[in-house]
Structure 1
Amino acid sequence: MLAATVARFSPDDPIAGLDVGDRPAPPAREHWTTVDVRAAALNHHDLWSLRGVGLRPEQLPMILGTDAAGVTADGREVVVHGVIGGPSGHGVGPDEPRSLLSERHPGTLAEQVAVPTWNLVDKPAALSFVEAACLPTAWLTAYRMLFTTGRATPGQRVLVQGAGGGLATAAVRLGAAAGLEMIVTSRDENRRAQALELGAASAVEPGARVPRVDVVLESVGRATWSHSVRSVRPGGTIVVAGATSGDATAAELTRIFFQEITVVGTTMGSRDDLVHLLAFLARTGVRPLVDSTFPLARAADGLSRLADGAQFGKIVLEV
């Protein structure tokens, strides 16, 4: 089968470590199901894997990808929940640590992917395969940050640090549809304008003064941390799901404890979160913003666009 793999680690030029070619089809395994992939979305996790983060040389070649939607052998249209193992242990046992597809098990950038049967969720007929493939990482994380961890409710104000990536665009669309006042930061004037078109109430330059917010969605880290801490209201919540600019050099603990700010981390989301997210989209008509699509054979072009940071929304490979 055709697959996009990490063939070698390339820290400075991740695309140089990519190979798109023939790989063995997934073997049959008890309690697992093989899915014929119809669409698979790209994530920065794929670029980190190509750089050698989270993988060991003896694991290569490793098929990339954490997100997919496709069809099982019996015709069931499904979305793949990409978190394997952990306390639930479905299909792998409770002693296997939690991981994402492409970390311990082959990923989704292939014609087929095998996952524990428990990890499959029915795809709503209202969503296309491309739209559904956008959901299991960025959109699931945004949903969990807003509603499960951040506990945002209609009428509250939410600050999203950064605009343009899959997480930010997902948060804006989900939040606006749920009656939240979404504020977005971006250095790029065009991205700020696009965020307003997606439903943001306002879009400002990083560090700009904003009305105190109830919840901050923080995935940038060092470059925006101080702004996040100073923008949240006393008693508010900062939800952290990444640090793309590195760890904050100062935690600003005095402000955090004096104003009783809650800081909570989250990664991805549960299978139940994915079920709820799919229902949310099916019932509201909200759809993922797709920046561009490429055939699987042109995975390098899609990953290059992601690496350049030129996208606004999700980049998806179609099989």
Structure 2
Amino acid sequence: MLAAYANTVSSDDPLSALAVGELPDPEVPDGWTTVDVVASSLNRHDLWSLAGVGLPKDRTPMILGCDGVAIRRGHPHLIYPVIADASLPDETLDPGRTLLSELHPGTFAEKIAIPARNLLAAPEGWSAHEAACMPTAWLTAWRMLTTRGRLEPGGSVLVQGAGGGVATAAVRLAATMGARVYVTSRDEAKRERVAGLGATALPAGARLPERVDVVIETVGSATFDHSLKSARPGARIVVSGATAGHEAPVDLRRVFFLQLEIIGSTMGTRDELAELLIFCSEHDLRPVIDRVYPLREAKKALAHLADGDIFGKIVLDHS
């Protein structure tokens, strides 16, 4: 089968570790099933894997990809990428939790082995490209806003950064929930585009018209001080990434005086993904797609993701 995979790892040149070619069909653990993948989408996680973050060299070759859509019993199904103890109330808190492409081969292949419970029917009328964007970026944004951020109707949200998959998802979701949404970006073109999604777009570091209830923070040290200063008393600053540095200075005086909550968030549960799909279907809410590449051009797609000049999700077509 055709697959895009980490043939080795390289912190200096992650893309050099990528290979695209034929691999054997996946082995199927007890209780799992095999399905044909028709589309997948890229995440920063794929670049980190190629760099050796979370994927040691002795675990290569490893098929990349967390997100995807597969055909099961003739119908498209989303692939939920968290492999964990399903008996827990929140499988994302399982100490042994892992994502596809870490211990088990991922979605950048024509076939995948997956637990049957990790397949959820795609919404009616959605394309495979649209559905493939949901399980990581959109699920992450949903959990940040709801379970972790506890956004209430009529609330206010700041999303740091305007172009990535989580950021565009958070803007669309929060705006649909009726929140006042502010977004920061250094890129004027991205500010113009994100304004079209229902947000007030501002230059990076700009003073907001108001302090907000929830901050969606995926950038890290470059924006974290601004996140603190933009939060109202009792606000939640929800962190799911650190693309611009993980060692952020924190003014603890502001944290305790304003009783701020700094909350980590990673992925989401299968039940949260099901809730997200219902919400999007009810509101006819679709993901923003930046570009679609054929699976054979996975290296071009990952290079496009690495250069940072994106708006929305990058998708691989497996047909």
Give SS of 2:227's match. Answer: helix
Contact 1:6 1:61 in 2 (8 A): yes
Q: How far did 1:219 drift?
A: 1.0
Give SS of 2:77's match. Answer: strand
Give SS of 1:204's match. Answer: strand
1:162-212 deviation line (CA, Å, top 9, x unaligned): 010001100111111110111000000000000101111x11111111110
Q: How far did 1:114 drift?
A: 1.0
1:58 equivalent in structure 2: 58
Give SS of 2:67's match. Answer: coil
The separation in 1 between residues aligned to 2:60 and 2:29, in whole angstroms, is 21
The separation in 1 between residues aligned to 2:229 and 2:97, in whole angstroms, is 34
2:276 equivalent in structure 1: 277
Query: Structure 1 residue 32 and structure 2 residue 32: aligned?
Result: yes
Contact 2:222 2:248 in 1 (8 A): no
Q: How far did 1:87 drift?
A: 6.1
Query: Structure 1 residue 293 and structure 2 residue 292: aligned?
Result: yes
The aligned runs of 1:1-319 (5 Å cut-off) are: 1-72=1-72, 74-86=73-85, 88=87, 97-200=96-199, 202-210=200-208, 211-319=210-318
The separation in 1 between residues aligned to 2:86 and 2:71, in whole angstroms, is 27
Give SS of 2:45's match. Answer: helix
Give SS of 1:233's match. Answer: strand
Query: Residues 186, 100 of structure 1: CA spacing in aligned structure 2 closer, same or farther, 3 A cutoff?
Result: same
The separation in 2 between residues aligned to 1:238 and 1:14, in whole angstroms, is 31
1:75-118 deviation line (CA, Å, top 9, x unaligned): 242101100024638xxxx9981011000100000001111111
Contact 1:225 1:248 in 2 (8 A): no
The separation in 1 between residues aligned to 2:94 and 2:300, in whole angstroms, is 38
Contact 2:35 2:70 in 1 (8 A): yes
Q: How far did 1:40 drift?
A: 0.2
Report the count of equivalent residues: 315
Q: How far did 1:70 drift?
A: 1.4
Give SS of 2:70's match. Answer: strand
Counterpart residue type for residue 272 of structure 1: D
Q: Calculate the TM-score normalised by the size of structure 1.
A: 0.95
Counterpart residue type for residue 194 of structure 1: R
The separation in 1 between residues aligned to 2:103 and 2:96, in whole angstroms, is 10
Give SS of 1:285's match. Answer: coil
The separation in 2 between residues aligned to 1:96 and 1:174, in whole angstroms, is 29
1:273-317 deviation line (CA, Å, top 9, x unaligned): 100111111111110000000110110111010011111110000
Contact 2:14 2:50 in 1 (8 A): yes
The separation in 2 between residues aligned to 1:207 and 1:317, in whole angstroms, is 34
> Would you identify which runs of 4 or more consecutive aligned residues in structure 1 move more than 3 Å?
86-89
Instruction: Structure 2 unaligned segments of length 5 or more: list them.
Output: none
Counterpart residue type for residue 76 of structure 2: E
Contact 2:214 2:238 in 1 (8 A): yes
Is the deviation greater in 95-104 or in 159-168?
95-104
Contact 1:127 1:282 in 2 (8 A): no
Give SS of 2:183's match. Answer: strand
Is the deviation greater in 123-132 or in 25-34?
25-34
Contact 1:14 1:50 in 2 (8 A): yes
Give SS of 2:286's match. Answer: coil
Contact 2:154 2:178 in 1 (8 A): yes
Query: Residues 40, 154 of structure 1: CA spacing in aligned structure 2 closer, same or farther, 3 A cutoff?
Result: same
Q: Calculate the TM-score normalised by the size of structure 2.
A: 0.95
Query: Residues 310, 249 of structure 1: CA spacing in aligned structure 2 closer, same or farther, 3 A cutoff?
Result: closer
1:3-32 deviation line (CA, Å, top 9, x unaligned): 000012122222111100011111233211
Is the deviation greater in 266-275 or in 246-255?
246-255
The separation in 1 between residues aligned to 2:262 and 2:14, in whole angstroms, is 33
Give SS of 1:144's match. Answer: helix
- Over aligned residue pairs, what C-alpha RMSD do you find? 1.8
